[in-house]
Amino acid sequence: MPTAKDTPPNQSDQAAARQVTAPLAAVTRRRFMKGILLGSAGLAVAAGGTFAVLRRSPVDQLPVPDGIQHLSQSEYHLFRRAIEVLLPLAGSALTPVSEVPVLANIDAMIGTLPAHIRKDVASGLMLFDNAAVVSGWHGRRFVDLEEADAVAYFDRWSRGSVIQRTMNTVIKQFVYVSYWRDPKTWPPVEFDGPVSDRWGIAYLGNAPLPEEADA
């Protein structure tokens, strides 16, 4: 199993992290945190006193590998489940996830985020995981959803509020970028590497998306 030592250099992690979290630039921090707080309050109201019980998960007792330095236990298990749902590669010609340090890459990128962005990402991940308890009345967190329900959950968030769409995109990009940035994934799709690397073109970052009017 690949470990954190297999991750690319820090500069590459920083560039990837900027790319992945670019959707957050389209939402002001005040608006983002307001949406998180309202969403969290809605969970407590919808589930009532049973929320604390419903949000318990068997994965809460599972350890996090020693090589993981920046993801919390709940974040690690959220991304582990997201990888299973978003990269169903069994039986395909693509490089198996077991041969790519996807979680280690995510952990490394998380570690390069500025403190305020890291806090926003953490809040969004917590809401995404816990909202599944009442979304569609699953009665369980995202980490415990069956595959079909988990896929449907991502689909609902892709059509939801600005906060939901933003976190849906951020989570997917963390997973996809962390998989495809590894050179071992390139041969099956006949990709010979980024042109920017071959030609020595400097990374210029991402232009922020226009902010939308809805909440």
How far apart CA 60 and CA 74 sit, in angstroms, is: 7
Higher pLDDT, 30 or 182: 182
Contact 175, 79 (CB under 8 A): yes
Within 10 Å of residue 111's Cβ, how many Cβ atoms?
17
Q: Cα 102 to chain center, whole Å?
A: 11
Within 10 Å of residue 128's Cβ, how many Cβ atoms?
24
Structure token pair of residue 202: 């400097």
pLDDT band at 167 (very low <50, low <70, confident <90, very high): very high
Structure token pair of residue 213: 């009017």
pLDDT band at 84 (very low <50, low <70, confident <90, very high): very high
Q: Which residue segment(s) compose the domain that 105 sits in?
A: 14-51+69-183
How far apart CA 9 and CA 12 sit, in angstroms, is: 5
Higher pLDDT, 172 or 130: 172
**82 domain-assigned:** yes
**193 domain-assigned:** no
Place of tokens 């929320």: 51
**106 domain-assigned:** yes
State how many domains the chain has: 1
Please give the model's pTM, rounded to 2 decimal places: 0.81
Q: How far is CA 79 from CA 7, 125, 193, in A?
A: 17, 9, 26
Q: How far is CA 31 from CA 7, 19, 186, in A?
A: 34, 21, 38
Least confident of 13-22, 134-143, 157-166: 134-143
Mean pLDDT of the chain: 83
Express as a percent the part of the chain with pLDDT over 90: 55
pLDDT band at 41 (very low <50, low <70, confident <90, very high): low
**32 domain-assigned:** yes
How far apart CA 129 and CA 110 sit, in angstroms, is: 17
pLDDT band at 4 (very low <50, low <70, confident <90, very high): very low
pLDDT for position 79:
98
**57 domain-assigned:** no
**200 domain-assigned:** no
Contact 209, 124 (CB under 8 A): no
**120 domain-assigned:** yes
The values of phi and psi at residue 141, to 5°, are -75, 165
For the CA atoms of 137, 138, 143, 147, the dihedral, rounded to the nearest 10 degrees, stands at -130
**171 domain-assigned:** yes
